[in-house]
A and B are shown apart, each in its own frame.
Chain A
Amino acid sequence: MSVFQQLLKSNEKVILSGWMSELASSTRRADLMSDVDLQQQAAELVRLFAEAAQTSSDVQSDAYTGTREFLKEIAKSRMDQGFTPAETALFVLSLKQPIFTTLRGSVKDPSALMEEVWESGNLLDKLAMLTVTSAVAIRELTIVRQQEEMLELSTPVVKLWDGVLALPLIGTLDSARTQVVMESLLSAIVETNSQVAIIDITGVPTVDTLVAQHLIKTITAARLMGADCYLSGIRPAIAQTIVHLGIDLDDVQTKAKLSDAFALALQRLGKTVVTAKTPAAKVREL
């Protein structure tokens, strides 16, 4: 057993208090976490670490299972509390300072001291990496969940009139979303027995060749089902981009605004909108 492991066990108290003062001076975030919680976490981690270090110096070994689990827990709670991954890593890394101080006090031979510092430093680096990895994994889980939620939220098909559907698209179109958009539009066409579908891209920030291809696919599929499909909400900037990119929209009926496309749809269905002789407000007065 090396000196560092013995010291860790015998000087647990000293290291802990050293660590607490180190934390207080460097990475303390009093706005996010109370002193009592921090003290508890630190004490528990030092205890687990000292215990695990007695038997092994490989953080992936069974001896470190408890330490690893505890670090994952810390990462999770830190992320929930709003710490950055860097701050979470620094929490573990700041344990180096008190350990090195203790080592310097006990080991007098410079080369032996170097050896001990190197070994303990390595170990703590790995533990810090582990913490960051779990913190990032937690973040990624959140991102995946939010992406799924967005996918569901952002593809509503609305009925404008008997036989006229509108699909207001918001956000960037990628392959996965196009698939969802296409499926929901086509099944809505069947359900509502609609003859016209209007795809409104006012909320689509950019149109590149890929997005245009996705749109054309959706429009072609709707046509195959027997519904006319119009494209509306094309902003002037996007019209310029489409032409500059050489995207061929010849087969697609396009309109600048949703209202224009709706007027065209009504015309296609043989319906007209007329102004009433007496406005509804006046009828109520009578």
Chain B
Amino acid sequence: MDRIPILKVGDCLLVTIQVDMHDELAMSLQADLTAQIAKYASRGVLIDISSLEIVDSFIGRMLANIAAMSRVLDAQTVLTGMQPAVAITLVELGMALPGIKTALNVERGMELLKAYLSQDLEPEETDGSEE
């Protein structure tokens, strides 16, 4: 059976969906991705769906689920490269994917993840102890 490759890039995992998603593929991606996040203790997940032309409510739910699962495992999900038609479909289906960050392309998505991760690494504010 086909599997969607998950690439490890530093702290992040990179998933590019190049084929049309069917339900089984989506389920296996969900299982693989959560396993990989746990294995590498990844802090960010970038899912590129620029080649995805068709979505249904199941795929939409799956994307929302992946984001929620990653959040539980303390990884931030960024969804990149959504096609206009896909965006319109998801909105019409009433799926605004509120928990997911989005970016126009992979490059922007990476920047977003980096900014998010570096913000996490910054030392916490010192509650005005300098005074």
Residue of A nearest to B100 (CB): A224
Q: Do B82 and A224 have beta carbons less than 8 Å apart?
A: yes
A220-235 interface with B by 8 A CB criterion = 220-227
The answer to whether B69 has its CB under 8 Å from any CB of chain A is no
What is the minimal beta-carbon distance from B100 to any residue of chain A, in angstroms? 8
What is the minimal beta-carbon distance from B75 to any residue of chain A, in angstroms? 19
Q: Do A224 and B104 have beta carbons less than 8 Å apart?
A: no
The answer to whether A268 has its CB under 8 Å from any CB of chain B is no
In angstroms, Cα B97 to Cα A223, docked, is 10
Q: Do A195 and B91 have beta carbons less than 8 Å apart?
A: no
Residue of A nearest to B80 (CB): A226
B57-105 interface with A by 8 A CB criterion = 79-84, 86-88, 90-92, 96-98, 102-105
From A187, A189, A193, A220, B91 is in contact (CB under 8 Å) with: A220
* Contact string against B for A residues 224-267, beta-carbon threshold 8 Å, 1 for contact and 0 otherwise: 11110000000000000000000000010000000000000000
By a CB distance below 8 angstroms, the chain B residues around A225 are 82, 84, 87, 102, 104
Q: Do A186 and B104 have beta carbons less than 8 Å apart?
A: no
Q: Do B108 and A182 have beta carbons less than 8 Å apart?
A: no
Contact-residue size bin, chain A (C-beta under 8 Å from the other chain): 10 to 19
Residue of B nearest to A192 (CB): B104
In angstroms, Cα B87 to Cα A187, docked, is 11
Count A-B pairs with CB separation below 8 Å.
Answer: 55
Contact-residue size bin, chain B (C-beta under 8 Å from the other chain): 20 to 34
A184-228 interface with B by 8 A CB criterion = 186-187, 189-190, 193-195, 217, 220-227
Q: Do B88 and A183 have beta carbons less than 8 Å apart?
A: yes
What is the minimal beta-carbon distance from A167 to any residue of chain B, in angstroms? 14
From B84, B92, B98, B104, A195 is in contact (CB under 8 Å) with: B104
Would you list the 3 A-B pairs with minimal beta carbon distance, nearest first?
A186-B84, A226-B103, A226-B102
Residue positions of A touching B, CB distance < 8 A: 182-183, 186-187, 189-190, 193-195, 217, 220-227, 251
Q: 10 other contacts beyond A182-B88, A224-B91, A225-B104, with CB at 8 A cut-off?
A: A190-B84, A220-B91, A220-B96, A221-B84, A221-B90, A226-B80, A226-B104, A226-B105, A226-B108, A251-B98
Can you report 11 residue pairs joining A to B where beta carbons are below 8 Å apart?
A183-B88, A186-B88, A189-B104, A190-B84, A193-B104, A221-B90, A226-B79, A226-B102, A226-B103, A226-B104, A226-B105
Residue positions of B touching A, CB distance < 8 A: 79-84, 86-88, 90-92, 96-98, 102-105, 108-109
